[in-house]
Amino acid sequence: MRGTIADTTIVLSTDDHLVLAAKADREFFGELYNKYFDSVARFVYQRTGTKDEAFDITQQVFMQAMMALDKYESRGFPFSSWLYRIALNEISSRYRKNKNQRTINIDDTSVQNVMGEINEPTSDEKVDLLLIAMQELDEDEVQLLEMRFFEKRPFKEIAEIKDSNESAVKMKVYRLLDKLKGLMEKK
């Protein structure tokens, strides 16, 4: 009896091609670095507060990515999701090690998005209560808020960055919004 293997077409993204090339020859990693440096630096800067610290952490992210590149597996998400996961780990590690206070860069639109999700009117008093309540959140909770409401990332991408599944991330975000509302009501 003869079996046949069905033709399988695998479509590789530009990122996949670059990653494969960089795995074979690290000199090609420079193309990934050039492509993603600015977006990773912005991602880090949103969480640090100083350009020097953001660039320092971003350099560490790319060093770690290059060293771990052989472990990277494409799961259908952009390569940048893997870099953002490394960045979050590096930022968390740095803040734990140095006991620094964490920075969150928030704009008015982002605050309005959060206020709308928790069905609160946007007033100066309510915004102040939201900011106070956010100070009581742990690192993981703040990261979820930042990615969902301040960076407007889809749940699917957040799940990839957090190495979780989409439904778990959605559930965490909605529970977090309930927690925020409760913290605001206690103030």
Tell me, what's the pLDDT at 108? 72
Rounded Cα distance, 42 and 55, in Å: 9
Rounded Cα distance, 55 and 60, in Å: 9
Check: CB of residue 28 under 8 Å from CB of residue 21. yes
Q: Which of 58, 139, 55 is nearest to 101 (CA)?
A: 139
Rounded Cα distance, 165 and 96, in Å: 26
Domains contained in the chain, CATH given: 14-98 (1.10.1740.10), 108-186 (1.20.140.160)
Tell me, what's the pLDDT at 102? 59
CA dihedral 89, 84, 143, 96 (to 10 degrees): 20
Tell me, what's the pLDDT at 149? 87
Tell me, what's the pLDDT at 95? 73
- Please state whether the predicted TM-score (pTM) of the whole model is above 0.85: no
Crossing angle, helix 14-24 and helix 79-98, to 10 degrees? 70
Question: Rg of the chain's alpha carbons, rounded to an integer?
Answer: 20
Rounded Cα distance, 103 and 54, in Å: 11
Residue 25: partners with Cβ closer than 8 Å, 6 or more residues away: none
The most distant pair of C-alpha atoms in the chain lies apart, rounded to whole Å, by 76
What's the average pLDDT block by block, 10 residues per block, for the chain (187 residues)?
44 74 90 95 87 94 96 86 93 73 67 82 82 85 88 91 92 94 85
Sign of CA dihedral 27, 28, 31, 32: negative
* Token digits of residue 117: 């999700």
Tell me, what's the pLDDT at 6? 46
DSSP secondary structure string for all residues of 120-140: ----HHHHHHHHHHHTTS-HH
